[in-house]
Amino acid sequence: MAQNYRIYINDNTLFIADLMPKQVKKIQQIDIQDFDFEIFYKNLARVSGKDYILLDADPKKLFKKIKKSCELIKAAGGLVKNAKGNYLFIFRNKKWDLPKGKVEKDEKMKDAALREVEEECGVKIYTNDEKLCKTYHVYSLDTRLVLKKTNWYSMTVKGEPKLIPQKEEGITKASWLSKLELNQVLKNTYPSIVQVLDVGGLLDNKLVVKPALQAIKKV
Q: What is the pLDDT of residue 219?
A: 44
Domain extent at residue 178: 76-199
Same domain? For 86 and 190 the reply is yes
Q: What is the pLDDT of residue 31?
A: 93
Measure the CA–CA gap between 114 and 124, rounded to whole angstroms.
9
Q: What is the pLDDT of residue 143?
A: 85
Q: What is the pLDDT of residue 4?
A: 87
Same domain? For 112 and 161 the reply is yes
Same domain? For 81 and 171 the reply is yes
Residue 16 CB partners (closer than 8 Å, separation 6+): 4, 5, 6, 7, 53, 54, 56, 59, 62, 63, 66
Q: Is residue 172 part of a domain?
A: yes
Residues listed for the chain: 219
Same domain? For 24 and 122 the reply is no
Pairing of strands 28-29, 100-102: unpaired
Q: Give 125's DSSP letter.
A: -
Same domain? For 186 and 96 the reply is yes
Q: Is residue 114 part of a domain?
A: yes
Which residues are paired to 87 by β-bridges?
Answer: 81, 177
Q: Which of 48, 68, 88 is the last residue of a domain?
A: 68
Measure the CA–CA gap between 91 and 77, rounded to whole angstroms.
15
Q: Is residue 149 part of a domain?
A: yes
Quote the number of domains for the chain. Answer: 2
Same domain? For 64 and 85 the reply is no
Q: Quick one: the chain helix, strand, coil %, rounded to 5?
A: 20, 35, 40
Q: What is the CATH number of the domain that holds 105?
A: 3.90.79.10
Q: What is the pLDDT of residue 3?
A: 72
Q: What is the pLDDT of residue 22?
A: 76
Q: What is the pLDDT of residue 207?
A: 53
Q: Is residue 23 part of a domain?
A: yes
Asked if residue 145 lies in contact with residue 40, where contact means CB atoms within 8 angstroms, the answer is no
Q: Is residue 88 part of a domain?
A: yes
Asked if residue 66 lies in contact with residue 37, where contact means CB atoms within 8 angstroms, the answer is yes
Phi-psi region of 32 (alpha: psi -120 to 50; beta: other; left: phi over 0): alpha
Phi, psi of 27 (to 5 degrees): -130, 135
Measure the CA–CA gap between 58 and 62, rounded to whole angstroms.
7
Q: What is the pLDDT of residue 167?
A: 94
Q: What is the pLDDT of residue 217?
A: 45
Q: How far is CA 84 from the centre of its chain?
A: 25
Q: What is the pLDDT of residue 21?
A: 78
Question: Which residue positions in the chain have pLDDT lower than 70?
Answer: 1-2, 23-24, 205-219
Q: Is residue 82 part of a domain?
A: yes
